[in-house]
A and B are shown apart, each in its own frame.
Chain A
Amino acid sequence: AAILTGAICIEMPPLA
């Protein structure tokens, strides 16, 4: 089985 060990979130500035 695979297990997610973490995640990186990228949040760009909101589009106008």
Chain B
Amino acid sequence: KYTMPDLDQEENTCFPAAASNIIYWFGENGYPNLLPALVTGENRHRRLFTKLLVHCNVSYRLGTKFEVMTTGLKNFFKEQGYNDVKVSYRGFGGAVFTGPEWFEKNGQDNVGFILCIDYVKKTGEREYSAAESLGHCISLLTYSDNVAVILDPAHTADERGRYTFRFQPVRNVRLTDSNGTYPLPLVYELP
């Protein structure tokens, strides 16, 4: 997915920005009906972003709710005429956590990932505390053996762009937030 374009986000629109980046890549690589019609003087990528903004009920002030991400994407794909797209979420707030082997599927031309990240502080061995954050979404460019190259749609004034990182899955941890301390089956630690 290395040739993915990089639209930057505005305000709290990281999810539709990250989604539009990977979906635009699919549009240019075998699925042309994902791309809006070319209209002189308009930016096609920006028009795709706006469609996703509407489908996923994104608020510039509040961002995107987890529970509408997958259904919003599915409805978008149906509207473009692709009825057989599988969109699945695994992770925090969902039923199933997953090991990093799931990301190996990114090597297939018809599979892409949007990573939903949060910022927390390591407070001890397998102990973390949650930071006050809305969370963030990024796209996966390449993945192999716990090394990922990602595309961050951050605000133009921040640090939008490509980053390489190695992450380490850590299983059976405890997370403390304002509601208390509870177990999590899996987190991915970044350096």
Contacts and interface: CB of A to CB of B under 8 A. Distances in A.
Interface in B48-95: 66, 69-70, 73, 82, 84-94
Interface stretch (B3-11, B37-45, B117-125, B154-162): B117-125
Contact of B110 (A3, A4, A11): A11
Contacts of B85: 10-13
Nearest to B85: A12
A6 B112 CA distance: 14
B114 A2 contact: no
Bin the interface of chain A by size: 10 to 19
A10 B22 contact: yes
A12 B86 CA distance: 7
A3 to B, nearest CB: 5
Interface of B: 22-23, 26, 30-31, 66, 69-70, 73, 82, 84-94, 98, 102-103, 105, 109-122, 128, 135, 140, 167, 187-191
